[in-house]
């Protein structure tokens, strides 16, 4: 069955297959994390729905207190979650690029996901 094939070619194909299997496993892990993040977003949406009366809240609290409330919600809820999702998506994209055989930039430990040194 393998007659006519160069053993070096078969070894290279096995190596490629092993890398693809590893990349798929990494992608599966990323998908699980993204599904968890989607669950977090669904929970956040429920929380926001519970706060439907934001306009009524503005009338009761006054504009300055509402701005403080919205900023606190952003710092404690939306912004950290959005940053986490951005990092997960960047990892997912790099994983797909690896599967396609493209060169992938991996930030050094001294850099964050955007490539900026921290």
* C-beta separation of 113 from 101 below 8 A: no
Q: What is the DSSP string of 8-20?
A: HHHHHHHHHHHHH
Kindly list the domain boundaries of the chain, sorted by start residue: 28-98
Identify the segments of the chain with pLDDT beneath 50: 109-118
Q: The tokens of 10 are what?
A: 């078969």
- Crossing angle (nearest 10°) for helices 79-99 and 7-50: 160
Instruction: Give the pTM.
Output: 0.39
Q: Cα separations (Å) of 114 from 11, 82, 98, 110, 118?
A: 36, 14, 18, 11, 10
Q: pLDDT of 41-69, one tens digit each?
A: 777 767 766 665 665 666 666 667 766 77
Supply 102's token pair.
């493209």
Q: Which residues pair with 117 in a beta bridge?
A: 111
């Amino acid at each position: 069955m393998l007659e006519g094939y160069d053993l070096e070619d078969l070894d290279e194909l096995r190596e490629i297959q092993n890398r693809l299997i590893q990349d798929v496993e990494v992608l599966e892990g990323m998908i699980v994390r993204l599904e968890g993040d989607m669950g977090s977003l669904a929970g956040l949406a429920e929380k926001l729905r519970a706060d439907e009366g934001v306009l009524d809240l503005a009338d009761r609290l006054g504009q300055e207190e509402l701005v403080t409330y919205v900023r606190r919600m952003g710092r404690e809820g939306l912004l950290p979650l959005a940053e986490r999702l951005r990092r997960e998506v960047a990892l997912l994209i790099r994983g797909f690029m690896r599967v396609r055989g493209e060169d992938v930039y991996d930030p050094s430990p001294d850099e964050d996901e955007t490539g900026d040194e921290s």
